[in-house]
Every structure is written in structure tokens, then in C-alpha cells.
Amino acid sequence: MSEIRNLQPQAIWENFDKLCAVPHPSGHLARIQQFLLDWAAERGIEAFKDAGENIVMRKPATPGMEGRKVVTMQAHMDMVPQKAKDSTHDFENDPIQPYIDGEWVKARGTTLGSDDGMGVATIMAVMEATDIPHGPIEGFITADEETTMYGVNHMQPGTLHGDYLMNLDNETEGEFVIGSAGGINLTAELAYAPAAPQADAAVKIVLQGLKGGHSGLEINEGRANANKLMARVVRKAVANLGAELATWVGGNMRNAIPSSVEAVVAVPADKVAQLQKDVAAWGDVFRAEYDGIEDAIRIEAEPVAVPAERVPIDVQDRLINAIGACHNGVLRFIPGIGDIVETSSNLAIVEIGGGKAFFKDLIRSSMRSQREYVEEILTSCFQLAGMKVEVGGAYTEWQPALKNEMVDLMRTVYKDMYGEDAKVQVVHAGLECSIIGAMYPHMDIVSFGPTLRSPHTPNERCLIATVGKYWDFVKEVLARVPEKK
Ligand SMILES: [Zn+2]
């Protein structure tokens, strides 16, 4: 038990604290699934695991509200496992350690899992409540949203009974999302025969401390991409000092902006000091370029043993050119709306070494033809480098519906409660709503939640004051859901 259990509203924070105690990184969900099933059984709540490894819960209406429309409350059970460089946290076995830091709840050295533990805790709070009036309620707690959206991709028609679907996976309180971008994974690969380095010394260049962050929600912040910066460093080292690229490891999640990268280059012994000076100078350049955006860029070059293998020169040059030339970041904003990103790409992962190179990019767009255009841009670029390009794992955009009764209700309730208008948004991230909506087209869907910042990073945090506001709002909306016609 942690100190967050004393926070208000206790109904949410207590359940969130319980979730923190059960490891639930994407891909390792057996424990959280069992926890949720046991938790429901102890309280006499109907619950089962569906064909998509999702947990479904059902609760009948409170007296007098049996005729109301059915509300499905949805959140994902998995969390992104990211930790600080010095953390020894084992995501598969260790509990998350939440703590209060001023206005925020954070976790010690890791992602917090408020994305989307806050949503799951909300479902638990409604399911176990004895004092909240509501119509028939369904909880839909999905598996592996953060990696493959396995859960919603494998759910079966007929599983859900909702007329309305509340997706509790948005990250700004007072904002209602009614549409989202689709995405597609692009992977470029190349195999090469390693050569022996000519140089008699070697250096490991480590670039770290970038903010990273969510490759959709935070792509418009202008943050540095570690792979793109490293390409500039290595290109100059090759051109000026005869450096030979041996290995490159940058980024670790396709949907995270890469925040660190390491490259090993062989270099003549009499050039090591110059390379170290150049790398230090790059640090100054990057800090100046990203002044006001990044505040902790660190780049260092330390001598290491000469590696046994290097990338052959022609391949090395093609790979560095490809990393340098490929489009990265926002391509276009939604015309006529202003500040909402329509199309982007994120060169998330670059790994080179052992005779293989692969790049992993995630393209997002709320307009299908623009997504396809970026696929063409990147495919052209990587094919010019002699790489084999594959796309897959596409998920559809969630087109805002012309008529959405639930968002109308929510706007009215929000205005009544808080005297201000909620912001209606289309979000530049993949939401499960697109897949649920495609299977259940009659559902009115809205995504919302309390305020979180820097999800998918060890700096993930949840703004305490917004949780109570959000919880009061959820309860009021449930109370005002209209009768089924
Ligand atoms: Zn999420």
C-alpha cells in the first residue's frame, strides 16, 4: 500500500494502487487478468475473459434505471514498460511504486501506468460502487493496446452490449475525443557481410537524456529524435575522421520517440581525441537547437575495445544516408483546423550490427491517402539504400461520426457542472475506438480521462486535481444516460 491511497477520490486511487502492485507490462498480462477476475469474483461481479484475452465485466442497473441505454466503459489493462537509465526495475515481477510529488502522482524510476490504469481503476470503482445510480454497465478491459491492440483485434462480434462506449484512455481532462488517427508499421531491413575494421581504436558514442515521449500525442512538440541526431554525428565522423560504423542501437518502442542511442565506431587511434572533441561540440549544437524543448541532452564518446566486425563502407554510407534523409516528425496538420496533427512518422528504432540492419517506423494519419503517401516517401528512401521494406499492422482511423448522442450529453453535463465548454478533439494517436467502432457501428463513442503528462516515459505523471473532477463527471453522465427508445 502506498501513500496515494489517502488521495481523493479514494474509490479511484485505492483501485489504482492495487493495480500498481500487480505487474502488467504489455505482453505479460496473465497476472493482471487473474487479479481482475479474482477481484470481481470476491465482489460478486460477473466477469470473464473473452476470445481476445480481454476482461469483460457486467453490472445490472441500479433500481429504477433498468431501461437506460447500456454503457460500456473501456480501458486497456497493459502499460508501457519504460524506466530511467539507472533503474533496476523488473517490469515482469516488481510492483510499480507510485508516490505524490506536489500536484502529481508519479512512479519511482518507471512509467506510472496511469495510461491506462486510471481507466481500469474507474471501471473497478463503478463496478463495486453501491451508491452510484446508473443503467446497465459493462466493463471492457482490453489486452495489449500499447503494442498490437491484440485485445480489440481479437474480440468477437456480440461480446459487447453497449449503446454508448466510454473509452477512458484520453490524457487531458476537459477534452472529449471523437476521432483518431490510423497508423501503420513500416520496417526496413538489410543483411550485409560484416568486414574487419581497418582502424586501430574505437569509440562508443552515447546520446541520451532526450525527452522521447509518445510518437503521436507528442510528435508536434518538436522534440529531438535520437536516431536522427546520431546520423549527423556519425556522418561527420565518417567524412572527417575515417570512422567505420560497427554497431548502432537506438530507440526501443515503435510508438515512442527514441530518447537515446549508442553507436560504436572504429577510428584511427590518432583521431580519437578529435572525435571526442567533435562529439562534445555536437552536444553544444544540439542543446542550442533544442533550447526550450529538450533540457537534458547528453552526448559522450568513450574509447572502447576495437570491435571484431564493422559494416562494409558502401552499406554504412547507404544506411547513414537513409537515416538522415527519411522523413521524421509532423508531415501535415489537418487543413483548416490549425493545430491538430494529421500526418506524421517516427523513426523509432534503428539497430545495426551482426550482419543485419533494421529500422522501425510508425506512420500515423487521420487521412488514409496521406498515410499511404508517407509509406511511399519512406519506402523510396529506404529502397534507395538497398533495404527491403515491409508494411503491416495497419489500424484504421476513427472517423468522427456526424451524429454522436453521447458527446452531446457529455458536453451538456460538463457545461452544467463546470460552467465551461469541454474541448472536442480528434487525436493523433491510435485509439481502440477505431476498431471497436468498426465492429459495433451503432455505438456512440467518446474518449476522455483525467490529465496525464509524458505517458510512455519514466516521467509519466497524473495530475491529482483532475481525477476528482473527472470522477464526478463520470458519475453525473452515468446518472443522466437516457432511456433506450
Ligand atoms: Zn493508453
Query: In terms of domains, do 244 and 287 share one?
Result: yes
CA of 52 to the centre of ligand 1 (A): 17
Count CA atoms within 13 Å of residue 263 on its CB side: 33
Q: Grid coordinates representing 390?
A: 515491409
CA of 248 to the centre of ligand 1 (A): 29
> Does residue 83 lie within any of the structural domains?
yes
Query: In terms of domains, do 388 and 248 share one?
Result: yes
Which of 364, 395, 426 is the endpoint of a domain? Answer: 395
Query: In terms of domains, do 33 and 173 share one?
Result: yes
> Does residue 485 lie within any of the structural domains?
no
- Per the annotation, the verdict on 116 as an active-site residue is no
> Does residue 424 lie within any of the structural domains?
yes
> Does residue 389 lie within any of the structural domains?
yes
Query: In terms of domains, do 38 and 152 share one?
Result: yes
Which DSSP state fits 195? B
- Please give the radius of gyration of the chain, using alpha carbons only, rounded to the nearest integer: 24
CA of 170 to the centre of ligand 1 (A): 7
Which residue among 14, 17, 78, 342 is the active-site one?
78
The CATH number assigned to the domain holding 164 equals 3.40.630.10
Closest listed residue to residue 186, CA positions, set 328, 392, 36: 392
Query: In terms of domains, do 391 and 402 share one?
Result: no
> Does residue 299 lie within any of the structural domains?
yes
Query: In terms of domains, do 21 and 151 share one?
Result: yes
Burial of 157 (0-12, 13-18, 19+ CB in 10 A): exposed
Regions in the chain scoring below 70 on pLDDT: 336-338
Q: Grid coordinates representing 300?
A: 559522450
Which of 395, 426, 450 is the endpoint of a domain? Answer: 395
pLDDT digits (tens, 9 = 90+) for 411-449: 999 999 999 999 988 888 888 999 999 999 999 999 999
> Does residue 196 lie within any of the structural domains?
yes
Sign of the CA dihedral 374, 378, 381, 386?
negative
Element (H, E) at 479: helix 464-480
The CATH number assigned to the domain holding 337 equals 3.30.70.360
In whole angstroms, how far apart are CA 180 and each of 342, 425, 431, 445? 9, 9, 6, 11
> Does residue 338 lie within any of the structural domains?
yes
pTM given for the model: 0.73
Which residue among 115, 116, 138, 145 is the active-site one?
145
Query: In terms of domains, do 71 and 200 share one?
Result: no
- Per the annotation, the verdict on 78 as an active-site residue is yes
Structural domain boundaries enclosing 154: 3-180+398-480
360 phi and psi angles, rounded to 5 deg? -125, 125
Which DSSP state fits 205? E
Q: Grid coordinates representing 326?
A: 527519411
Query: In terms of domains, do 253 and 307 share one?
Result: yes
Query: In terms of domains, do 334 and 200 share one?
Result: yes
CA of 455 to the centre of ligand 1 (A): 8
Amino acid (one-letter) located at 383: Q
Query: In terms of domains, do 472 and 340 share one?
Result: no
CA of 146 to the centre of ligand 1 (A): 7
Query: In terms of domains, do 265 and 355 share one?
Result: yes
Number of domains present in the structure of the chain: 2
Which of 373, 395, 417 is the endpoint of a domain? Answer: 395
> Does residue 119 lie within any of the structural domains?
yes
Query: In terms of domains, do 97 and 242 share one?
Result: no
pLDDT of residue 155: 97
pLDDT digits (tens, 9 = 90+) for 320-336: 999 999 999 999 998 76
